[in-house]
Structure 1
């Protein structure tokens, strides 16, 4: 279960992704306005790292952007740093491209192998936690954990890329009712 704070983010997640995405080689220089299509969350068992993945449209293409949010920089992960944001409740957050974060990789392996799904989300309000409807659905395929699993994130879901294995995370979102592979394990 994810508890979300009612907070102001500077820059916003959309602004941060819009600045970072076009600089990524796998984005192929796509530009224009970034449109969020859906998002899902996983839980860090230790409760320290926010894990949220976004499906966005940029330049007429759909991209899968998993991010992690940390209260301190992740040692040795400078190349994975997307940027920082100010969170009005939690303070400075270091935002990472999630495949470079060991907490994300471990949780993705667990969700895929246990045929898990995204967590339920609740917004913290003065009246108590209020359930937030998900903007997309994901599920793991289930299966045995491979020896030394390697995570493969599908950056452009639905663009014809074949899954690296039968161990996958697939999802649907508004405008895409057919399950589409978002990640797999080797």
Structure 2
């Protein structure tokens, strides 16, 4: 299981996401510079131990009503070969591991593979900030098969009951800035 280091990351994740998020087509805010707060998430383990994987929820509180965004991220010790320019969120100096290249997880094959594994019951979600601690609040509803189904990531999260259906859906929670808990669908397997 991945170790969560108690160290510095410069620039920090929120600082990197503040500059990156408004450049995304799915950003619904109208601020040039969002005001982001951590709202939740979890980690996944890379079976090879090379890529740090975090599925992070950030809330933008710059608008009248906060908006929750899902950003899966892959932390790498070297650039990801073949990744498009827009896949790189940024680089940061980790107090223990050195320079980390932080990628939008939808462009990182290790992150995508582990999200699929989670939806298929082959991976265990880990607590976002504790080493070797499963996150039992993350659940998978429905069933999936390894039949080439596409992976759909929900970028703008909505608090909702898990929708009916048989396809595998990843359901997890976050906390709004006012402290109210919410749950919704983070990802799902969808036929291609």
Does TM, normalized by the shorter one, top 0.5? yes
Instruction: State which of 58, 61, 64 in structure 1 corresponds to 2:67.
Output: 61
Distance 1:183 1:122, change over 3 A: closer
Could you tell me how far apart the structure 2 residues matched to 1:30 and 1:163 are? 33
Q: TM-score, normalised by structure 2?
A: 0.81
Task: Show the 5 A alignment for 1:126-145.
Answer: 137-141=137-141, 143-145=143-145
Shift of residue 111, structure 1, vs aligned partner: 0.6
Could you tell me how far apart the structure 1 residues matched to 2:37 and 2:129 are? 23
Pair 1:7-2:13 in alignment: no
Partner of 1:100: 107
Contact 1:117–1:137, Cα closer than 8 Å, also in 2: no
Instruction: State which of 70, 81, 85 in structure 2 corresponds to 1:75.
Output: 81
Pair 1:167-2:168 in alignment: yes
Partner of 1:126: none
Distance 1:142 1:115, change over 3 A: farther
Shift of residue 8, structure 1, vs aligned partner: 1.1
RMSD: 2.8
Distance 1:177 1:29, change over 3 A: closer
Pair 1:184-2:173 in alignment: no
Would you say how many aligned residue pairs link Structure 1 and Structure 2? 178
Contact 1:86–1:93, Cα closer than 8 Å, also in 2: yes
Shift of residue 83, structure 1, vs aligned partner: 0.7
Contact 1:10–1:85, Cα closer than 8 Å, also in 2: yes
Q: Give the gaps of 5 or more residues in structure 2.
A: none
Post-superposition Cα deviations, 1:89-119, rounded to whole Å, max 9, x if no partner, equal 1011000000111111111111111175412
Q: Give the gaps of 5 or more residues in structure 1.
A: 124-129
Partner of 2:121: 114
